[in-house]
Chains A and B, each alone.
Chain A
């Protein structure tokens, strides 16, 4: 006799919940050696800020698990790295538009006169700021981080590159705000950061917006207990019963807002996006390092981080292939197909909770997951390719923040502007992913547990974020001490 396990029956039997994870924080062995190029989350959505419905917003987050108090150097991006946001707009799993970000840290070398008047010595200070900073007053900054952006059309390595320019003054060098050191150093961080939102000239008469800087990490998850053999309870309880392990963490965001007419090719409304980061193939440590030259790096770019849909490299790709996935390109994703058609995550969940009646789907190959991760959903965001990327049908109108459903497309009343039709900050991708891998989209005959409302218990929705560019919240200040603790609560 077949039966569908009820949530109550499951609750009575379970003491632990199915696994979840941090979207892509430290997800592969090799990238943990290079946190500055570790992509943590990628978002792609129709802008839902009032008056911006003609735009898409792309967010690529890097450098995970930033403790706000992480001075004195805080979390500058890597000046020797190449950070990329890539868009395929004709469904061939190859990038058509690539935004390439390069960073530079410039030392002001602020020095103080120290010693008695008769024997004063001018000595360099050891910290990144020596006084308060505000939008019009940054002289106290000892290190200034700037960046430039190239827009490459076609192949990212061999295509035609043009500089992205500030629409206000034509300059091609932009400034990244220093991290949120604390309230004494930066009394009004929101205003200071807002001064680094740029209107950008994309060429061809198109303009967009850009912000690069520290933000509160938007991902929400009960991380520690998850990786401790899923050491938490009440897997089918309220979606907000567990703490968010990242509540007191910041991250560094590259955010673009681009006109829909600019990102689409004219052949269709569906675009695919992902982010990647690369280092030069060779790094030689300088035995006599200076601020400017701690090492010499050279050779071709070697991609070491790749991210589109959340949780893919974290929970779908096998450990032995995670570094290879990070170095790979969507057009070559056939090599990873088995991980999607025959996923291990549902099998692991069944192993953990078999006694409670949880069953993994029995339909193979998992065409439902192929649609969700590799092809796009028929009639919604399919774009003709078989490749892992975040697909967005730009013809689906954005849902205002107040009306968004955190479960997106699988919500009881589907919110088609949400994951996996792109991804918004407030989409609860952990709960969506758990339910989908356990068979939410399959008939009950092949997914006995597919109707269960699996949750990691750490909820996120659109109310966690601003309803205007760059959407992600102001980073948690490193000082005073109560600020971080308050965020944790």
Chain B
């Protein structure tokens, strides 16, 4: 029983590692399910700039980072 659990654990770890390896976008890498940081920021700036709302909670969120220097150009057009 213990051996089976151990194998399942190893399999899960491998899947997570594989997903993490595929999760990068332009060299930043990142965790499976991580939010793209550029998309997150652009959305905040374009859709969340109000005096009357609360900030977005960051603790517990994971981000993947895009090293494309043009990633935020949309904000300056």
Measured in the bound complex, the distance between the Cα atoms of B72 and A282 in whole Å is 12
Total number of A-B contacts with CB less than 8 angstroms? 49
Chain A at the B interface: SS class? strand
Q: Beyond A296-B45, A298-B45, A300-B48, is A287–B69 a contact (Cβ under 8 Å)?
A: yes
B45 — nearest CB in chain A belongs to which residue?
A298
Q: Are B52 and A157 in contact (CB under 8 A)?
A: yes
Closest CB of chain A to B46's CB: distance in Å?
7
Q: Beyond A284-B75, A286-B76, A293-B76, is A299–B45 a contact (Cβ under 8 Å)?
A: yes
A302 within 8 A of B: yes
B54 — nearest CB in chain A belongs to which residue?
A300
Q: Are B53 and A284 in contact (CB under 8 A)?
A: no
Instruction: Render B36-77 as a binary contact track against A, CB cut-off 8 A, 1 for contact.
Output: 000001001110111111111000000000000100100110
CB-CB under 8 A from A302, the residues of chain B are 55
A150 — nearest CB in chain B belongs to which residue?
B51
Task: Specify which of B44, B49, B52, B55 is in contact with A158 (CB 8 Å cutoff).
Answer: B52
A293 — nearest CB in chain B belongs to which residue?
B76
B41 — nearest CB in chain A belongs to which residue?
A282
Measured in the bound complex, the distance between the Cα atoms of B45 and A118 in whole Å is 49
Q: Are B56 and A299 in contact (CB under 8 A)?
A: yes
Q: Beyond A281-B44, A282-B45, is A296–B75 a contact (Cβ under 8 Å)?
A: yes
Q: Are A288 and B55 in contact (CB under 8 A)?
A: no
Q: Are A301 and B55 in contact (CB under 8 A)?
A: yes
Measured in the bound complex, the distance between the Cα atoms of B76 and A293 in whole Å is 9
A280 within 8 A of B: yes
Task: Specify which of A281, A287, A297 is in contact with B55 (CB 8 Å cutoff).
Answer: A281
Instruction: Render B15-38 as a binary contact track against A, CB cut-off 8 A, 1 for contact.
Output: 000000000000000000000000
A301 — nearest CB in chain B belongs to which residue?
B51
Measured in the bound complex, the distance between the Cα atoms of B52 and A300 in whole Å is 7
Q: Are B49 and A299 in contact (CB under 8 A)?
A: yes
Closest CB of chain B to A301's CB: distance in Å?
7
Measured in the bound complex, the distance between the Cα atoms of B75 and A82 in whole Å is 21
CB-CB under 8 A from A293, the residues of chain B are 76
Instruction: Render A263-304 as a binary contact track against B, CB cut-off 8 A, 1 for contact.
Output: 000000000000000001110101110000100111111100
Measured in the bound complex, the distance between the Cα atoms of B56 and A158 in whole Å is 17
CB-CB under 8 A from A296, the residues of chain B are 45, 72, 75-76
B50 — nearest CB in chain A belongs to which residue?
A300
Task: Specify which of B55, B69, B72 is in contact with A300 (CB 8 Å cutoff).
Answer: B55
CB-CB under 8 A from A282, the residues of chain B are 41, 44-45
Task: Specify which of B48, B52, B54, B69 is in contact with A298 (CB 8 Å cutoff).
Answer: B48
Measured in the bound complex, the distance between the Cα atoms of B45 and A113 in whole Å is 41
CB-CB under 8 A from A299, the residues of chain B are 44-45, 48-49, 55-56
Measured in the bound complex, the distance between the Cα atoms of B44 and A299 in whole Å is 5
Instruction: Render A312-355 as a binary contact track against B, CB cut-off 8 A, 1 for contact.
Output: 00000000000000000000000000000000000000000000
Measured in the bound complex, the distance between the Cα atoms of B45 and A299 in whole Å is 5
CB-CB under 8 A from B72, the residues of chain A are 284, 296
CB-CB under 8 A from B51, the residues of chain A are 157, 301
Instruction: Render A151-166 as a binary contact track against B, CB cut-off 8 A, 1 for contact.
Output: 0000001100000000
Measured in the bound complex, the distance between the Cα atoms of B46 and A195 in whole Å is 40
CB-CB under 8 A from B45, the residues of chain A are 282, 284, 296-299
Closest CB of chain A to B76's CB: distance in Å?
6
Q: Beyond A157-B51, A280-B49, A287-B69, is A300–B76 a contact (Cβ under 8 Å)?
A: no
| Among all A-B residue pairs, the 9 with the closest Cβ atoms | A298-B45, A299-B44, A298-B49, A300-B55, A282-B44, A296-B75, A302-B55, A300-B53, A282-B41
A-B contact pairs, 18 of them (CB 8 A): A280-B49, A281-B44, A281-B55, A281-B56, A282-B44, A282-B45, A284-B45, A286-B76, A287-B69, A296-B75, A297-B45, A298-B46, A298-B49, A299-B44, A299-B55, A300-B50, A300-B56, A301-B51
Given contacts A296-B75, A298-B48, A299-B49, 9 further A-B contacts (CB under 8 A): A157-B51, A157-B52, A281-B55, A282-B45, A296-B72, A299-B44, A299-B56, A300-B48, A300-B56
